[in-house]
Amino acid sequence: MKQWVIREKVSENLEEHLLFYRGIKTKEEAEKFLNPDYEMDLHDPFEILDMDKAADRILQAVKNNERIIIFGDYDADGVCAAAIFYDFFKKIDFENFHIHIPDRHLDGYGLTSEAIDEFIEQKAGLIITVDCGITDYDEVEKINKAGIDAVIIDHHLVPEKLPNAFAIIDSKQEKDNYPFKYLCGAGTAFKTIQALIIKGNFNIVPGWEKWLLDLVAIATIADMVPLVGENRILACYGLKVLEKTNRIGLLNLFRRLDISQKNITEDDISFMIAPRINIASRMDHANTSFELLTTSSSEEANWITSRLESLNNDRRGIVDAIIDEVDKRISQEELPNIIVEGDLGWNTGVLGLTAHRLIDNYKRPVFLWGKGKAKQIKGSCRSDGSVNMVELMGILPEGILIEMGGHAMAGGFSLAEEKIGEFKKEILKAYEKMPKEKTENGILHIDKELNIDEINWKFYGVVEKFRPFGIDNPKPVFLFSDAEIVNVRKFGNNGLHLQLDFERSKGEKISAIGFFMAQQENFNFIAGQRVDLLASLEKSTYRTSPELRLKIIDVKVK
């Protein structure tokens, strides 16, 4: 049972109340948050450590027509970062470059010796990593020995031993004084392009780089970095660019997913667009998603979107099958404090998604491993907030894991095949040694209690000022007490989704929608029931005219 906690009221004014709980206390802070300004509020890219050096080296390579390799990660952030460089090089008519995105299953994360051999064969003069590279010490040494320069553009936590690259762009470096530390990989790539345009004296219309913000917004929202500060500006303006984007692949995807381009939201990115971009690497190869973002062919765009939708459908079945298998295993034993399961046949690309769903089901940390078609056993882990996953993996006996990485809430690892039998036992032992943090998993914070009659377009207008919502800027949550359900409807594939209708005092109806809630055991409702409803507000443009509705978070029968 989830615990509902109403926030202490700090103001009768909803806007002031919501600002307070986002840590915004002054008029100046409020103005910057509610009215982000691209020209005024973005920071100078040259404040990032090594940016001047990196820009000079990239411009030198362009001027001398050196072979440039863009090495990107295979997730939505990395693919968007690679596409940003692709668009820039095309814009300045530079053709001597190659985009390389590794195979998640066969190559794994980051630079590999085999990939570097390929770049040496291509006679590369400069290798630029985007959304990766900060931990690739040995690989950069090999690049240096081959007489090639490396520029690392990354946003992940920096290791104690940095690669000896020509330049490193990562605002998390200890000596970096950049005012904002939470850019995603594509955001960091965008700042680099800004610097290149400033220094390069190209024949580009001033402000052209804003057209790249559609990719920055997708990556920023998909990578779940905090949507505050500079990220908020990039996401706000990126959504505006998405409303006007002429990327053929994205336009085709919008049509296939019934996304209204002129009304596109962060939810469309989180739940529909980003999963399709990510599914390519999970089930096949990320090159498919890269082509989606860069193609100029309608026929190719149509084929790609069909392919991605097919892969996404396959993914659902695979994730469901793994969850069913885990449920069966757990039902045969006492529920452990931490779930550790695996199978050599499990697809490594979907383990993170599956672990996330198991966290929701079991409210405890999850480790999953598999191999599928990968060269070695790979795994994903997710925390419920009670333990730091990287620290937990760090106290395992030496030799259990081949490699590991990540952050407090999520991580990845490679497992030695001969250690499969010991892995679960050692994880459970390590977990018992770890200090436990109190977790708010299962606690739902309520911003305000309302009456159904108070929901109108004026009220929604106040809430809308806080968009786009995301990490560190969650959707406001409202409580509707003792509300009577007047109608219940199930819709979607085999009745997956739930609609509860409520009536205002003047007889108008307002609907509350719960996606994927219709088949939950505790969500069986009938007309006439009185409930306490927890919901956020949203504007639906599914029909011809906009409709104000509620989005169900939780319901308790009176």
Q: Are residues 106 and 179 in the same domain?
A: yes
Q: Is residue 200 part of a domain?
A: yes
Tens digit of pLDDT per residue, the chain (558 long)?
678 999 999 999 999 999 999 999 999 999 999 999 999 999 999 999 999 999 999 999 999 999 999 999 999 999 999 999 999 999 999 999 999 999 998 888 899 999 999 999 999 999 999 999 999 999 999 999 999 999 999 999 898 899 999 999 999 999 999 999 999 999 999 999 999 999 998 999 999 999 999 999 999 999 989 999 999 999 999 999 999 999 999 999 999 999 999 999 999 999 999 999 999 999 999 999 999 999 999 999 999 999 999 999 999 999 999 999 999 999 877 888 999 999 999 999 999 999 988 988 888 999 999 998 888 899 999 988 888 888 899 899 988 999 887 777 888 899 988 999 999 999 999 999 888 876 556 688 999 999 999 999 999 999 999 999 999 999 999 999 999 999 999 998 778 899 999 999 888 899 999 988 887 777 889 999 999 999 999 998 876 678 899 999 999 998
Per-residue confidence (pLDDT) for residue 439, from 0 to 100: 58
pLDDT score at 313: 92
- Pair (62, 198) in one structural domain: yes
Q: Is the domain of 72 the same as that of 139?
A: yes
Contact between 298 and 306 under an 8 Å Cβ cutoff? The reply is no
For the full predicted model, state whether its pTM sits above 0.95: no
What gap in Å lies between CA 339 and CA 320, rounded to an integer? 17
**Per-residue model confidence (pLDDT) at position 495:** 86
What sign does the CA torsion over 332, 333, 339, 344 have? negative
| Domain range enclosing 375 | 334-433
> DSSP of 201-256, one letter per residue?
--S--TTGGGGGHHHHHHHHHHTT---SHHHHHHHHHHHHHHTT---HHHHHHHHH
Within its chain, how far is the Cα of 188 from the centroid?
Answer: 15
The residues facing 69 across adjacent strands are 98, 127
User: Is 88 inside a domain boundary?
Assistant: yes
pLDDT at 147: 97
Question: Does 531 fall in a domain?
Answer: yes
Q: Are 458 and 373 in a shared domain?
A: no
In the block, residue with structure tokens 């840590």: 23
Q: Is residue 399 part of a domain?
A: yes
CA distances from 329 to 205, 272, 333, 342, 462 (A): 60, 31, 7, 11, 48
Q: What is the CATH number of the domain that holds 418?
A: 3.10.310.30
Q: Which of 169, 191, 206 is the endpoint of a domain? A: 206
Residue 412 tokens read as 């990845």
Residues 185 and 61 in one domain: yes
Domain assignment present for 229: no
Q: How far apart are CA 538 and CA 468, in angstroms?
A: 12
Question: Looking at the 3D structure of the chain, how many domains does it have?
Answer: 3
Question: Would you state the pLDDT for residue 507?
Answer: 87
289: phi then psi, degrees, rounded to nearest 5: -70, -40
User: Is 478 exposed, middle or buried, given 0-12, 13-18 or 19+ CB atoms closer than 10 A?
Assistant: buried
Do 9 and 94 lie in one domain? The reply is no
162 to 72, 285, 294, 345, 538: CA distances (angstroms): 19, 29, 33, 36, 45
pLDDT at 229: 95
Q: Are residues 67 and 168 in the same domain?
A: yes
Residues 189 and 91 in one domain: yes
Residues 48 and 121 in one domain: yes
Selection from 427, 280, 315, 410 nearest residue 355 by Cα: 410
User: Does 359 share its domain with 417?
Assistant: yes
Q: What is the CATH number of the domain that holds 137?
A: 3.90.1640.30
Is 152 within the bounds of a domain? yes
Last residue of a domain, one of 403, 433, 463: 433
pLDDT for 1 equals 60
Based on the domain organization, do 375 and 500 belong to the same domain?
no
Within this chain, do residues 60 and 163 fall inside the same structural domain, yes or no?
yes
List the one residue out of 549, 478, 546 whose CA is nearest residue 514.
549
In a domain, 118, yes or no: yes
Encode 34-46: b = buried (16+ Cβ within 10 Å), e = exposed. eebeeeeebbebb
Give the domain CATH number at 481. 2.40.50.460
Q: How many other CB atoms are found less than 10 A from the CB of residue 304?
A: 24
Last residue of a domain, one of 377, 399, 433: 433
pLDDT computed for residue 442 by the predictor: 67
Instruction: Assess if residue 320 is contained within a domain.
Output: no
